[in-house]
Amino acid sequence: MLPTMMDTQLSVADLIEYAGSNYSAEEIVSRCVEGGIHRYTYQDCLRRTKKLANALTKLGAKQGQCIATLAWNTYRHIELYYAVTGIGAITHTINPRLFPEQITYIVNHAEDQIVFVDLSFVPILEKISDDLTSVAHFVVMTDRAHMPESQLNLLCYEELIEPESDSYDWPSHREDAPAALCYTSGTTGNPKGVLYTHRSTLLHAYAASQVLQASALNIILPVVPMFHVCAWGIPYMATMVGCKLVLPGAGMDGQSLYELIDNEQADLIVGVPTVWLNLLTYLRAAGEKLTSVKRTLVGGAAAPLSMIREFQEEHDVFLLHGWGMTEMSPLGTVNNMTSAMTKMPLEERYRVQMKQGKPVFGVELKIVDDNNHELPKDGKSFGRLMARGPWIASAYYKSEDKSSWVDGWFDTGDVATLSPDGMMQIVDRSKDVIKSGGEWISSIDLENTALGHDAVSEACVIGVPHPKWNERPLLLVTTHKPTTKESILTFLADKVAKWWLPDDVIFVDELPHNATGKLYKLDLRQQYQDHLQSSEQ
């Protein structure tokens, strides 16, 4: 049959063309790394993006090459998103919080040709530059007046684009051409690259705008960094709907965020729980309220009940839980308000809000057992969470490792329940769930329950080998007043299933955490691997 619909390919450059042409007066406001606030319009942004596209071409950037950024959320980073991908190259955003050796590995693995860097991160480049094998140019994202002293040969962003024409014709390409690259910060092994395409980026942007009901009336402040899964796709979504975008630069502390939110009247703020803990702490101390904000989208880790409550009751802000992964662009689920939730008492609604939400249209989810058999969506069975959809990776970049894919589904590494109405709740990470005699026990559930004991400050549950049950839970706690093992086990006894009760409780002075503040259980599992083999039967 002959084609009857236009073969229009989805393309990232269309986004900035659209916003620059149709929402020409809407603003992008940035807190500058150099200090002060910068504001301009989408029309200005489009013009400078085209100048940058011409400058990139002059620097020798070619289609399919990677061009890296080490940068905060600012307008120059937005220009790079569109110019680099627009000319047919790949926007490779690097997380500056990685170890220098990891950044070196990533730059070399991606074969980055140019690295664009914010002033804050020039020292990182100075440290690793000798080990970089592919980079031809370093460009500092600032003007001449702020260029740093350096032993590196640094180019200046503003000098580079200033003489260029603001006219540029974006080359055409198929929509499965690569657009952006982001490496996961796995705790084991080298970081793995996820290469997004124009198609995956655009479909994800449509889906994101849909689940957020975003429009040109919104004023969105993404605190989630543009080096972290493309700031969850917010920059692409913002140009698609033409809304005002507010970018916090390096100002991630509570006071800086509050001032920016309040001055710019942001109504949707987006970030991880840690950032909001800082913000809420500041607001409490300063006696300030969020008056413009209506919703906060929270992902990356589960927001605690207390945060959901405080946002709602102190600031009239609805906390919208989301869940995703770097391999998923990242959007998997969003916990939007439903008609059922509108009728619930607040405390009951909060319990629903704690879940990760329903899949965004485009993402299919299922849970499976150890034999990859699908488990029922009954809200109780839990299994390994598998995902499928047009913005989910089918492989890592330049990698033969296919261990995370089974029959065309991506294994998220999470253990979850799915309810009959599609609601997903993360139970545990696959590597942390305890497999006791063929049944699974959630370490997170046990930890949260143990935290209810009035002497427990922090709780950590790990599975350790057991001669009869294969694996059994061990509870490690820090305490702030005297208590006993018996007291804690008695406390737990009527709150969890009998066979979930930890086989032992161990009192420790401190629990180990990783760089993002999460419990780091790998060493503990090794340290206690013989604990139940020897002490109990």
**Interaction site with a second copy (CB under 8 A):** 1-8, 10, 14-15, 18, 21-26, 64, 176, 178, 194-197, 199-200, 203, 206-207, 209-210, 213-217, 240-242, 244, 336-340, 342, 358-359, 361-362, 377, 388-397, 408, 410, 420-422
Smallest gap from residue 469 Cβ to a second copy (A): 35
- 402 in active site: no
Smallest gap from residue 280 Cβ to a second copy (A): 27
Nearer to a second copy, 327 or 447 (CB): 327
Rounded Cα gap, residues 391 and 232, in angstroms: 12
CA 20 and chain centroid, separation: 27
Nearer to a second copy, 401 or 530 (CB): 401
Nearer to a second copy, 332 or 473 (CB): 332
Rounded Cα gap, residues 43 and 218, in angstroms: 18
Structure tokens of 243? Answer: 């809304």
Nearer to a second copy, 191 or 251 (CB): 191
Q: Give the burial string for 373-402 (b: 16+ CB within 10 Å, else e).
A: eebebeeeebbbbbbbbebbbebbbeeeee
Q: Give the burial string for 499-520 (b: 16+ CB within 10 Å, else e).
A: ebbbbbbebeeebeeeeeeebe
385 strand-pairing partners: 367
Strand pairing category for 456-466 and 154-156: unpaired
Rounded Cα gap, residues 474 and 535, in angstroms: 12
Contact 179, 213 (CB under 8 A): no
67 strand-pairing partners: 91, 114
Smallest gap from residue 325 Cβ to a second copy (A): 13
Identify the active-site residue in 440, 471, 500, 521.
440
| DSSP per-residue letters across 275-290 | HHHHHHHHHHHHT---
Rounded Cα gap, residues 448 and 124, in angstroms: 38
Identify the active-site residue in 294, 366, 431, 435.
435
Which of 272, 268, 270, 293 shows the shortest CA–CA distance to 216?
Answer: 268
Identify the active-site residue in 327, 377, 417, 500.
327
Smallest gap from residue 10 Cβ to a second copy (A): 7
- 469 in active site: no
Nearer to a second copy, 355 or 377 (CB): 377
Nearer to a second copy, 396 or 469 (CB): 396
Smallest gap from residue 271 Cβ to a second copy (A): 22
Nearer to a second copy, 257 or 387 (CB): 387
Identify the active-site residue in 41, 57, 184, 274.
184
Structure tokens of 189? Answer: 């092994």
Smallest gap from residue 134 Cβ to a second copy (A): 17
Radius of gyration of the chain (CA): 24
- 348 in active site: no
Nearer to a second copy, 182 or 247 (CB): 182
Rounded Cα gap, residues 324 and 436, in angstroms: 28
First vs last C-alpha separation in the chain: 70
- 440 in active site: yes
Nearer to a second copy, 216 or 455 (CB): 216
Smallest gap from residue 420 Cβ to a second copy (A): 6
Smallest gap from residue 91 Cβ to a second copy (A): 14
Nearer to a second copy, 121 or 410 (CB): 410
Would you say the C-alpha torsion 119, 123, 124, 125 has a positive or negative sign? Answer: positive
Q: Give the burial string for 276-297 (b: 16+ CB within 10 Å, else e).
A: bbbbbebbeeeebebebbebbb
Which of 275, 295, 290, 294 shows the shortest CA–CA distance to 228?
Answer: 275
The residue type of 326 is T
Smallest gap from residue 210 Cβ to a second copy (A): 5
Smallest gap from residue 99 Cβ to a second copy (A): 25
Rounded Cα gap, residues 25 and 499, in angstroms: 62
**Angle between helix 485-493 and 443-450 (nearest 10):** 110
Long-range contacts of residues 158-163, Cβ cutoff 8 Å, at least 24 apart: 160/52, 160/55, 160/59, 161/48, 161/51, 161/52, 161/54, 161/55, 162/51
Active site residues: 184, 327, 435, 440
